[in-house]
């Protein structure tokens, strides 16, 4: 898996990096090792936002989430991606 993490208008901490890497391991299980994953996290007003773009061969997936807790956005995104796979 090729993982790229970007933070805008907020600090890129090792703890956040670790959680994103852990959550992204699910994508490897779902899509295989040859998957490109790009997470972007930022702060918008009082909310935290994150989005993920996943590309695996000819398949692309995208999810975006807003919450008052950045860590919750990661779980929202995993749920949204999982729903896209089920369709």
Burial of 61 (0-12, 13-18, 19+ CB in 10 A): buried
Q: What pLDDT, in 10s, does the model give residues 14-51?
A: 999 999 999 999 998 899 889 999 999 999 999 999 99
Q: Which CATH number does the domain housing residue 77 bear?
A: 3.30.160.100
Tell me the whole-structure pTM to 2 decimals.
0.91
For residue 70, the enclosing domain spans: 2-86
* Alpha-carbon separation of residue 42 from 21, 26, 34, 47, 71 (angstroms): 17, 22, 27, 9, 12
User: Which stretches of the chain are DSSP H helices?
Assistant: 14-31, 70-86
Structure tokens at 46: 């009082």
* Structural domains counted in the chain: 1
Place of tokens 């995208």: 62
């Amino acid at each position: 898996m090729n993982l790229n993490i970007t933070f805008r208008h907020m600090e890129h901490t090792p703890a956040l990096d670790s959680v994103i890497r852990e959550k992204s391991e699910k994508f490897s299980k779902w899509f295989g090792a040859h998957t490109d994953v790009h997470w972007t996290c930022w702060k918008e007003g009082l909310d935290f936002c994150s989005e993920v773009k996943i590309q695996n061969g000819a398949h692309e997936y995208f999810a975006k989430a807003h919450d008052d807790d950045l860590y919750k956005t990661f779980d929202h995104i995993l749920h949204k991606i999982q729903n896209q796979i089920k369709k």
